[in-house]
Amino acid sequence: MKEESGNYQPYSYFQLMEVSLRELLVEKGIVTDAQVAEEVEAMRKRTPAVGAGVVAKAWTDPGFKARLLADGTLGCIELGIEVAALKLVVVENTPDVHNVVVCTLCSCYPRMLLGIPPEWYKSRNYRSRTVREPREVLSEFGLQLNEQMKIRVHDSTADMRYLVLPMRPAETDGWSEERLASIVTRDCMIGVAVPKSH
Ligand code: FE
pTM of the model: 0.85
Rounded distance from Cα 1 to ligand 1 centre (Å): 28
- Rounded CA-CA distance 60/147 in Å is 30
Q: Are 103 and 156 spatial neighbours (Cβ–Cβ below 8 Å)?
A: yes
Q: Is 178 in the same domain as 108?
A: yes
Q: Is 104 in the same domain as 169?
A: yes
How many folded domains does the chain comprise? Answer: 2
Q: Is 68 in the same domain as 137?
A: yes
- Rounded CA-CA distance 147/132 in Å is 16
Rounded distance from Cα 122 to ligand 1 centre (Å): 8
Q: Is 98 in the same domain as 35?
A: no
Q: How far is CA 12 from the centre of its chain?
A: 28
Q: Is 20 in the same domain as 76?
A: no
| Tens of pLDDT, residue by residue, the chain (198 residues) | 445 556 678 889 999 999 999 999 999 999 999 999 998 898 888 999 999 999 999 999 999 999 999 999 999 999 999 887 789 999 999 999 999 999 999 899 999 999 999 999 999 999 999 999 999 999 999 999 999 999 999 999 888 999 999 999 999 999 999 999 999 999 999 999 999 987
Q: Is 81 in the same domain as 169?
A: yes
Q: Is 35 in the same domain as 116?
A: no
Q: Is 24 in the same domain as 67?
A: no
Rounded distance from Cα 102 to ligand 1 centre (Å): 8
Write out the catalytic residue numbers: 103, 106-108
Answer whether residue 4 is part of any domain.
no
Domain interval for residue 30: 12-45
Answer whether residue 197 is part of any domain.
no
- Rounded CA-CA distance 91/75 in Å is 13
